[in-house]
């Protein structure tokens, strides 16, 4: 099992941190994993592409992901910047999106075999306040793909952010996991 992910966000939304936490969660489950950030203009709001791989054996490739098994979209505003979430996807690919829209209403959803949607901003605001939605997006990713368990995600968040901050982020991921609506075609 080699699963490749492309994570689309804007600067300041926590996607790079999310990829690192995802890798830690996968490794804790005995998998191999890597995170590969790529920055354009390094400023808040600029598009950020982050890539990750999860596997059950050592990963030989260390390149960007050009044909993802899943695309995680932290902010669909990236589509207004000319970024196509479905670019290069494999047949049967999965979309995980941060949106208040239904799976059918999400941009590009029809091009994916499975779509998981959660209003990560809302979940994050309720539990953590005005901070990036990365913990919530990790919960949505765990729910939609099943490639990493929510318990491993929560534990990785608590390890990455010790103390009360980690506990609250883990609670946020768990809440998003429960609220994620998955539509399979």
Domain containing residue 138: CATH number: 3.40.920.10
Range of the domain at 46: 2-184
Beta-carbon contacts of 67 under 8 Å, excluding residues fewer than 6 positions away, are 4, 88, 89, 90
Name the pLDDT band for 80 (thresholds 50, 70, 90). confident
pLDDT at 10 over 90: no
Calculate the CA 184 to chain-centre distance: 18
Which of 148, 70, 150, 52 lies closest to 115 in space, CA to CA? 70
**pLDDT above 70 as % of the chain:** 97
Calculate the CA 160 to chain-centre distance: 16
Helix (H, G, I), strand (E, B) or coil at 48: strand
Length of the chain in terms of residues written: 185
Beta-carbon contacts of 179 under 8 Å, excluding residues fewer than 6 positions away, are 118, 119, 123
pTM recorded for the entire structure: 0.94
What does residue 100 show for φ and ψ, rounded to 5 degrees?
-90, -5
pLDDT at 81 over 90: no
Pair 163, 128: CB distance under 8 Å: no
Summarised one tens digit per residue, pLDDT across range 124-176 is: 999 999 999 999 999 999 999 999 999 999 999 999 999 999 999 999 999 99
Pair 123, 98: CB distance under 8 Å: no
Helix (H, G, I), strand (E, B) or coil at 145: helix
Looking at residue 41, its pLDDT comes to 57
* Number of structural domains the chain divides into: 1
pLDDT at 37 over 70: yes
**Where is 3: in which H helix or E strand?**
strand 2-10
Summarised one tens digit per residue, pLDDT across range 152-165 is: 999 999 999 999 99
Looking at residue 40, its pLDDT comes to 58
When the pLDDT of each residue in the chain is averaged and rounded to a whole number, the result is 93
């Amino acid at each position: 099992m080699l699963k490749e992910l492309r994570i689309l966000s804007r600067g300041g939304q926590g996607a790079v941190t999310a990829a690192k936490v995802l890798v830690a969660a996968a490794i804790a489950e005995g998998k191999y994993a890597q995170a590969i950030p790529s920055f354009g203009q390094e400023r808040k709001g600029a598009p950020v592409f982050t890539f990750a791989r999860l596997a059950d054996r050592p990963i030989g490739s260390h390149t960007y992901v050009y044909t993802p098994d899943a695309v995680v979209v932290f902010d669909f505003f990236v589509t207004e910047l000319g970024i196509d979430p479905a670019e290069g996807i494999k047949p049967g690919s999965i979309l995980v999106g941060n949106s208040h829209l239904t799976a059918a209403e999400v941009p590009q959803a029809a091009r994916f075999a499975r779509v998981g949607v959660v209003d990560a901003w809302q979940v994050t605001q309720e539990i953590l306040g005005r901070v990036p939605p990365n913990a919530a997006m990790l919960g949505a990713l765990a729910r939609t793909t099943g490639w990493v368990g929510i318990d491993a995600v929560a534990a990785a968040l608590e390890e990455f952010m010790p103390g009360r901050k980690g506990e609250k982020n883990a609670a946020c991921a768990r809440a998003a996991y429960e609220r994620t609506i998955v539509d399979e075609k």
